[in-house]
Chain A
């Protein structure tokens, strides 16, 4: 057995495979929350992205890469539309952000719009005709250790790395990112400096939604790969937790996503090796880990020190009289 079938390497690789939709969703939520908008509707947006991506892969004809490209864009756009609704509710109408986010998840989620659309489009039980394939970058997929870790993934994994890098650069190195963060930290300051708080929040909520949609497409065209009602299985909520785990930083959120992915796939990996541990226990592990991590990082006002945007969840009203 080569070193590439070592248990650690296998767990790491499957962690990346299963963690990637969480990377998209949590990095998207990082962007949204950095602008001061809390969007609890990640789960719903992922499911909308999954349904729309699945539909596109069936109804668009063309070469494999072209169809997958379009499906990803359409999935992202569908989720961004849901995010637009959230932005309208919380930025323009100043609805309580938690209530609006929960309503959004119910509206778009497992028993809501995504299921309804998927049913009327007859998506269920049709395997996606176009699926993402693993690549062998530079033909190095068999290189020891770094081969499976770095050069033998599907294109979405590489895309997620670009997204993480680009988001870090955007947030911390560009003027637009500075403006975005100022809106999340102190909208009144941003407003007095002539920035358009509402527009910045709208745009970044939609960008965050679009990335959640990409995460959904990853489920319906890659992991499963077909449409199943409620197929994201609560991963949207995990993504929300990862934002806190990652201290609102894209790179750390990615690490958290891979950790979660590794725990989530541990059961499959061990089963394949005939290690017998109760599968129920293994299935519960990632959620337990999430709870433990959240307890640790939420303790004693850590939120403040750890970089939660100061105006997160607060509507902006200029005329305070």
Chain B
């Protein structure tokens, strides 16, 4: 540890500025991601950076970690103006980043990942495995970040992977820690233990900058909050002086409703439209991803599928949507057995699927809105008079859908990739709803959307349910499933560990189930 860092680590007062960013502006083409943002964080504090998706949080911190360079503005660390021209420069200046999508090499061990790119510590060409593993073990004990240094990353749980990220930052003696939505992949309990770790790091004299759009986390862990909206900084406030409602108003720019339950109440006697029995399926890596999945969905019901990312929800969505094969088991739609992995057959049985990956599997980004609308039903009337597509009809039909679903775009010929996230999702939902589905499988339908679009999408789903469509809603957002679902199934390691009633489910019980406790 160099003398300078000891000074700072022992200072421990809240008044020493650690990070100062003045008038930061960053453009990507025509989009202004940051517009004259000012941001200040002190030594020893946990400082939350709050804002909606697209508000410019990640862009701002990426300039602190040397990934982007600002077009205008100045960055000072510990009152010294600096140009952080690369990740290496930022690391050297004491900034450590824990990315939302972990930056880890899956085939390397924990120790190898921790020391990757580390130069100061180990002179000479040889990689001293034993010494490095010892050092990593020491660090993980000191900060109670339990993880086996000799294990490969792919063998670890998501929570453990995050600890490796934290160890990477700690071994580099970073004095400024930036965490980008660190709880997105954690259960509520894992998140709580992360908060304890973050607090102890701040108490050691580090500065923790914590990016989030979840209000309860911000109020739970931070000392101060800076709110960003549309690329500008709106306010910096002491967390003690505000509550979730006032923060939400700052974040969105208007008053928002909380915990409003929008779910429908399914009629107890309605017929099951979808039954899955004992379904086993493989993941992309040929290892089992789903084990003995059994569930049933009634007409007009919204069934939530909750869980920490990577526990089989994506694969379940693909199976129910008809695009993934299964190894054993049965899927019936309205009493008719389905051929799994045959999307056309599923579509014929009136199963609609809205994937999480909207631009990869949902829509063709370079094609026009009209062409994308036609993608599901182009084979037959009214879309086609085989072998020809009815272009003129398609155009007016698309126009009508765009006004009905409130898609904002210049016209039906606009390529999908030019639309905003919310409008993209609306096109996708419009296409799937128009096939008049009996079963609708939707995965993370509101991820990445702004508050207005989220309300829009949710009310579309509720409308569909009221018309009698059975909806499977896969989401990692516990608030969302609790607000919308009649029942919630929780997945852990490819199994459904339990199904609870949507109205009475509380976060703690769900969190324990997401961690595998039954």
Query: Are B127 and A177 in contact, with the CB atoms below 8 A?
Result: yes
Given the complex, which residues of B lie within 8 Å of A186, measured CB to CB?
103-106
Query: Are B105 and A185 in contact, with the CB atoms below 8 A?
Result: yes
Choose the segment among A134-142, A192-200, A206-214 that binds chain B (4+ C-beta atoms closer than 8 Å).
A192-200
Query: Are B122 and A192 in contact, with the CB atoms below 8 A?
Result: no
Majority SS of interface residues in chain B?
A: loop
| B116–chain A nearest beta-carbon distance, Å | 5
Q: Which residue of B lies closest to A189 (CB)?
A: B103
| B161–chain A nearest beta-carbon distance, Å | 12
**Among B65, B99, B127, which residue has its beta carbon within 8 angstroms of that of A178?**
B127
Q: Is A310 on the interface with B (CB-CB < 8 A)?
A: yes
| A199–chain B nearest beta-carbon distance, Å | 12
> Which chain A residues numbered 133 to 189 have a C-beta less than 8 Å away from chain B?
173-179, 181-182, 185-186, 188-189
Q: Is B6 on the interface with A (CB-CB < 8 A)?
A: no
**Among B88, B104, B106, which residue has its beta carbon within 8 angstroms of that of A194?**
B88
| A201–chain B nearest beta-carbon distance, Å | 15
Q: Is A274 on the interface with B (CB-CB < 8 A)?
A: no
Residues of chain B whose beta carbon lies under 8 Å from any beta carbon of chain A: 28, 65, 67-68, 86-88, 91-92, 97, 99, 103-108, 112-113, 115-118, 122, 125-127, 168, 285-286
Q: Is A300 on the interface with B (CB-CB < 8 A)?
A: yes
**Among A175, A190, A191, which residue has its beta carbon within 8 angstroms of that of B125?**
A175
**Which of A176, A189, A301, A307 has most B Cβ within 10 Å?**
A189
Given the complex, which residues of B lie within 8 Å of A273, measured CB to CB?
none
Given the complex, which residues of B lie within 8 Å of A179, measured CB to CB?
116-117
Q: Please measure, in the bound complex, the distance between the C-alpha atom of A321 and the C-alpha atom of B108, giving whole angstroms.
A: 28
Going nearest first, the 8 A-B pairs with the smallest beta carbon separation are: A194-B88, A193-B117, A189-B103, A192-B103, A186-B105, A185-B105, A174-B125, A194-B117
Q: Is A319 on the interface with B (CB-CB < 8 A)?
A: yes
Query: Are B126 and A174 in contact, with the CB atoms below 8 A?
Result: yes
Q: Please measure, in the bound complex, the distance between the C-alpha atom of A178 and the C-alpha atom of B105, giving whole angstroms.
A: 11
Q: Please measure, in the bound complex, the distance between the C-alpha atom of A178 and the C-alpha atom of B111, giving whole angstroms.
A: 11
Q: Which residue of A lies closest to B65 (CB)?
A: A192
Contact digits for A208-243, partner B, Cβ 8 Å, 1 yes 0 no: 000000000000000000000000000000000000
Q: Please measure, in the bound complex, the distance between the C-alpha atom of A187 and the C-alpha atom of B120, giving whole angstroms.
A: 21
Given the complex, which residues of B lie within 8 Å of A182, measured CB to CB?
105, 108, 116-117
Q: Is A276 on the interface with B (CB-CB < 8 A)?
A: no
Given the complex, which residues of B lie within 8 Å of A193, measured CB to CB?
87, 91, 103, 116-118, 168
Query: Are B105 and A321 in contact, with the CB atoms below 8 A?
Result: no
Query: Are B86 and A194 in contact, with the CB atoms below 8 A?
Result: yes
Query: Are B105 and A301 in contact, with the CB atoms below 8 A?
Result: no
Q: Which residue of B lies closest to A304 (CB)?
A: B285
Given the complex, which residues of A lie within 8 Å of B67, measured CB to CB?
192, 318
| B223–chain A nearest beta-carbon distance, Å | 27
Query: Are B68 and A178 in contact, with the CB atoms below 8 A?
Result: no
Q: Please measure, in the bound complex, the distance between the C-alpha atom of A193 and the C-alpha atom of B125, giving whole angstroms.
A: 18
Query: Are A190 and B116 in contact, with the CB atoms below 8 A?
Result: yes
Given the complex, which residues of B lie within 8 Å of A300, measured CB to CB?
286
Given the complex, which residues of B lie within 8 Å of A321, measured CB to CB?
28
Q: Please measure, in the bound complex, the distance between the C-alpha atom of A300 and the C-alpha atom of B284, giving whole angstroms.
A: 11
Residues of chain A whose beta carbon lies under 8 Å from any beta carbon of chain B: 173-179, 181-182, 185-186, 188-195, 300-301, 304, 307, 310, 318-319, 321
Q: Please measure, in the bound complex, the distance between the C-alpha atom of A185 and the C-alpha atom of B152, giving whole angstroms.
A: 13
Given the complex, which residues of B lie within 8 Å of A318, measured CB to CB?
67
Given the complex, which residues of B lie within 8 Å of A194, measured CB to CB?
86-88, 91-92, 117
| A22–chain B nearest beta-carbon distance, Å | 27
Query: Are B127 and A175 in contact, with the CB atoms below 8 A?
Result: yes
Q: A175-B125, A175-B126, A193-B87 are in contact. Are A185 and B116 (CB under 8 A)?
A: no
Given the complex, which residues of A lie within 8 Å of B127, measured CB to CB?
173-175, 177-178
| A192–chain B nearest beta-carbon distance, Å | 4
Query: Are A189 and B105 in contact, with the CB atoms below 8 A?
Result: yes
Q: Which residue of A lies closest to B90 (CB)?
A: A194
Given the complex, which residues of B lie within 8 Å of A195, measured CB to CB?
88, 116-117
Q: Which residue of A lies closest to B101 (CB)?
A: A188
| B216–chain A nearest beta-carbon distance, Å | 29
Q: Please measure, in the bound complex, the distance between the C-alpha atom of A95 and the C-alpha atom of B111, giving whole angstroms.
A: 34
Q: Please measure, in the bound complex, the distance between the C-alpha atom of A186 and the C-alpha atom of B161, giving whole angstroms.
A: 15
Query: Are B88 and A175 in contact, with the CB atoms below 8 A?
Result: no
Q: Which residue of B lies closest to A195 (CB)?
A: B117
Q: Please measure, in the bound complex, the distance between the C-alpha atom of A218 and the C-alpha atom of B117, giving whole angstroms.
A: 37
**Among A173, A175, A185, A310, which residue has its beta carbon within 8 angstroms of that of B122?**
A175
Q: Please measure, in the bound complex, the distance between the C-alpha atom of A61 and the C-alpha atom of B168, giving whole angstroms.
A: 56
Q: Please measure, in the bound complex, the distance between the C-alpha atom of A302 and the C-alpha atom of B126, giving whole angstroms.
A: 31
| A169–chain B nearest beta-carbon distance, Å | 9
Give 17 CB contacts A-B under 8 Å: A174-B125, A174-B127, A176-B125, A181-B105, A182-B117, A189-B104, A189-B116, A192-B67, A192-B87, A192-B97, A192-B103, A194-B86, A301-B286, A304-B285, A307-B107, A310-B107, A318-B67
Query: Are A188 and B107 in contact, with the CB atoms below 8 A?
Result: no
| B421–chain A nearest beta-carbon distance, Å | 14
Given the complex, which residues of A lie within 8 Å of B86, measured CB to CB?
194
Query: Are A319 and B68 in contact, with the CB atoms below 8 A?
Result: yes
| A28–chain B nearest beta-carbon distance, Å | 20
| Beyond A174-B126, A178-B127, A182-B108, 5 additional pairs, beta carbon < 8 A | A173-B126, A185-B107, A194-B92, A300-B286, A307-B107
| A181–chain B nearest beta-carbon distance, Å | 8
Given the complex, which residues of A lie within 8 Å of B68, measured CB to CB?
319
Q: Which residue of B lies closest to A311 (CB)?
A: B105
Q: Please measure, in the bound complex, the distance between the C-alpha atom of A191 and the C-alpha atom of B108, giving whole angstroms.
A: 16
| A31–chain B nearest beta-carbon distance, Å | 16
| B90–chain A nearest beta-carbon distance, Å | 8
Q: Please measure, in the bound complex, the distance between the C-alpha atom of A304 and the C-alpha atom of B286, giving whole angstroms.
A: 10
| A207–chain B nearest beta-carbon distance, Å | 15
| B431–chain A nearest beta-carbon distance, Å | 27
| A191–chain B nearest beta-carbon distance, Å | 6
Q: Which residue of B lies closest to A175 (CB)?
A: B127
**Which of B67, B116, B286 has most A Cβ within 10 Å?**
B116
Given the complex, which residues of B lie within 8 Å of A178, measured CB to CB?
108, 112, 115-116, 127
Given the complex, which residues of B lie within 8 Å of A181, measured CB to CB?
105, 108
Q: Which residue of A lies closest to B125 (CB)?
A: A174
Q: Which residue of B lies closest to A170 (CB)?
A: B125
Q: Which residue of A lies closest to B92 (CB)?
A: A194
Q: A175-B125, A175-B127, A178-B127 are in contact. Are A191 and B107 (CB under 8 A)?
A: no
Given the complex, which residues of B lie within 8 Å of A189, measured CB to CB?
103-105, 113, 116
Query: Are B117 and A310 in contact, with the CB atoms below 8 A?
Result: no
Q: Please measure, in the bound complex, the distance between the C-alpha atom of A177 and the C-alpha atom of B68, giving whole angstroms.
A: 28
Given the complex, which residues of A lie within 8 Å of B103, measured CB to CB?
186, 188-189, 192-193
Given the complex, which residues of A lie within 8 Å of B286, measured CB to CB?
300-301
Q: Which residue of B lies closest to A184 (CB)?
A: B105
| A251–chain B nearest beta-carbon distance, Å | 18
| A196–chain B nearest beta-carbon distance, Å | 8
Q: Please measure, in the bound complex, the distance between the C-alpha atom of A319 and the C-alpha atom of B26, giving whole angstroms.
A: 13
Given the complex, which residues of B lie within 8 Å of A319, measured CB to CB?
68
| B136–chain A nearest beta-carbon distance, Å | 14
| B89–chain A nearest beta-carbon distance, Å | 8
